[in-house]
Amino acid sequence: MKPLQWRRTRLGQYLRHLPRAKHIRGTWIHRIFGDRLFANELWHPTGQKFATGMAIGAFFALMPLPIQMIAAALAAFFLRANIPAAIAGTWISNPFTFPFCVYFQYRLGCFLTGRAPMHFKDPDLLASLSGAPMPFLVGIIPAGLLLAAATYPVTLILWEWTTRSIHAAKKRRLAIFAAKGRD
C-alpha cells in the first residue's frame, strides 16, 4: 500500500507553498531565534505540547492586541509549546465571538472591582460609559487565564478522542484489507 502523499491532497496544495526549514536557514529569523526554531517539539504536535499551545493561544485570543498571533507564537516559542496550535488558538476570538468576549471581560471586571455593571437604560449614559474601560481592562487578564485553564484539559480530551478514533479507523481499514486478501 502506498503512503498518503499529502502534497496531492486539497489541503496539501496550499501547504506545499509554505517555507520549509531549508529555506529559513540563514535568514534573519534564523539568526534571531537560532537552531531552537527548528526543534520538532515546536512544530510537530504531541498531546501535551499541542494542548499547551492551544492554551497559550486562548490566553492571547482575549487580549485586545492587533498582533495576537505573533504574541502567541513568541510565547509558544519561549515556553516550548506547539507554535501552530498557539496561532490557531488565537482564532477563538473572531468577529463573531469578540462581542461576547468583550462583554464577559467587562462583567468579570465589574465583579472584580466591585462596581455595578452599567445599564443602557440609565438616564446619564455618558457618565456611565466613562467608567466602562476600567472594568474591561481589569477583566482582560483573569478572563484570558480562565479561558486558557479551560482550554488545556478540553484540548487534551479532544486529542485523546481523536487519536483513538484514528487508530480505530486504521484497524477497521486493515481488517477490511486483510479480509479482501483472504478472498
Q: Are 148 and 58 in contact (CB under 8 A)?
A: yes
For the cut 50, the answer to whether the pLDDT of residue 1 exceeds it is: no
**Cell match 456611565: residue?**
128
151 or 136: whose pLDDT is higher? 151
DSSP sequence for 99-163: HHHHHHHHHHHHHHHTPPPP-TT-S-HHHHHHTSHHHHHHHHHHHHHHHHHHHHHHHHHHHHHHH
Q: Are 43 and 76 in contact (CB under 8 A)?
A: no
41, three cell numbers: 517539539
Lowest mean pLDDT among 22-26, 48-52, 82-86, 127-131: 127-131
Query: What pTM, to 2 d.p., does this model score?
Result: 0.76
For the cut 60, the answer to whether the pLDDT of residue 33 exceeds it is: yes
**pLDDT tens figures, 90-125:** 998 888 988 888 888 888 988 988 887 776 565 665
| DSSP H or E stretch at residue 14 | helix 10-15
70 or 118: whose pLDDT is higher? 70
Distance of CA 44 to the CA centre of its chain: 15
Average of per-residue pLDDT across 144-150? 94
- 147 contact partners, CB below 8 Å, separation of at least 6: 58, 59, 61, 62, 92
> Counting Cβ atoms within 10 Å, is residue 31 exposed (0-12), middle (13-18) or buried (19+)?
exposed
Domain borders along the chain are 21-182
What pLDDT is recorded for position 4? 59
Q: What is the C-alpha radius of gyration for the chain, rounded to an integer number of angstroms? A: 22
**pLDDT tens figures, 12-23:** 777 677 677 777
